[in-house]
Amino acid sequence: MRLMQHKREAFWFYRYLSNFYDKLVNPLFWTARMREKSLDIVDWSAGRQLQVLDVGSGTGFTTQGIVKRVPARNIICLDQSPQQMERAMVKPELEDCRFRLGDAENLPFADDTFDRYVSAGSIEYWPNPQRGIDEAYRVIKEGGQALMIGPIEPANPISRFIANAWMLFPPESDYHAYFRTAGFTEVDWTYVRPHWQDNERYAIAIVGTKPAPGKPPGYAERKAATAVVEAEPRGGWLGRNLLLTSRVLVGSAAGFLFIPMALLAHVTAPIRGVEGEVEPLNREQKAVLIGLGALTAFFVVRALTRKR
Ligand SMILES: C[S@@+](CC[C@H](N)C(=O)[O-])C[C@H]1O[C@@H](n2cnc3c(N)ncnc32)[C@H](O)[C@@H]1O
């Protein structure tokens, strides 16, 4: 399993990442345009009637798109990170949403509760993604829809290596298999990407309908199988915490490599002939870019002057 595809590791990762998540991470990798295109594959026509669950809601960026379609008081935001949730709670347009700490793979809701389930950019951290999608199916009503948005395993071998070291980037076929196994019908999907990304299949938004009330077929067996894995103790207290710390550190380093890679791809997009309306860099991103440029220039100049 990948370095950050664990609940405790994801928890500690977001403890500090939440400080610059909205300024640096989302505007590069999960833009408003991607969010709107993804949400648009869901049927929101019943608007005010719909009860919605947003899982792995984080700082509320996707919820900010949902509130354009459904009143905030109809939305429950669930996340395992209090730090991420605190940032969502202070956003004025999310004031009337309800917030709940919890686990995507063990949702604290009864069967057949919601009309819509949305989860964006969270599956990457789930140790048992099928279980999370089984839970999505379980908590929505018959005829309800679940929307899952997540990255697709990169085609470029270097990006793929870093991505797979970091967390779960499922091949596209896995998303279809998760939805099929859970029993969803009327499955539809679209691809989303930031403008600087030339890979059309950078991320997928996939939606399915629940055809019958209750739990998904095979739910109890799959849940029992993953419960055994979860309960398995690995080493003593020290060993477990050393493993946790090293996974968070190395996993964060792998994750952070994506920031300069994405910034570089952003500035070179016009030269590379990547099509798409440019989503401009914000102040913080420009500051990081200038910092990285200055650092690179410093090392280049130092290497050149040393040779002489
Ligand atoms: C990349 S952020 C996405 C946040 C938000 N959906 C958005 O659109 O910006 C991933 C979020 O998933 C949460 N998360 C990871 N594993 C989780 C789990 N097992 N249960 C609930 N939330 C989880 C993290 O705490 C984090 O806030």
What pLDDT score was predicted for residue 83?
95
* CB of 9 shorter than 6 A to ligand 1: no
- Give the position, in ligand 1's atom list, of the atom nearest the Cα of 35: 8
Of all residues in the chain, what percent carry a pLDDT higher than 70? 97
* CB of 183 shorter than 6 A to ligand 1: no
156 C-alpha to ligand 1 centroid (Å): 25
> In the structure, what pLDDT confidence band is assigned to residue 231 with cuts at 50, 70 and 90?
low
113 C-alpha to ligand 1 centroid (Å): 21
> In the structure, what pLDDT confidence band is assigned to residue 168 with cuts at 50, 70 and 90?
confident
- Write the pLDDT tens digit of every residue in 17-54: 888 888 888 888 999 999 999 999 999 999 889 999 99
- Write the pLDDT tens digit of every residue in 97-128: 999 999 999 999 999 999 999 999 999 999 99
Which domains does the chain possess? 7-231 (3.40.50.150)
Do you know the residue count of the chain? 308
56 C-alpha to ligand 1 centroid (Å): 3
Least confident segment among 43-47, 137-141, 200-204, 263-267? 263-267
14 C-alpha to ligand 1 centroid (Å): 9
Q: What is the mean pLDDT of residues 216-241?
A: 80
* CB of 135 shorter than 6 A to ligand 1: no
The residue whose CA has the least distance to atom 10 of ligand 1 is: 122
> In the structure, what pLDDT confidence band is assigned to residue 248 with cuts at 50, 70 and 90?
confident
pLDDT of residue 84 exceeding 60: yes
pTM recorded for the entire structure: 0.90
pLDDT of residue 256 exceeding 80: no
pLDDT of residue 253 exceeding 70: yes
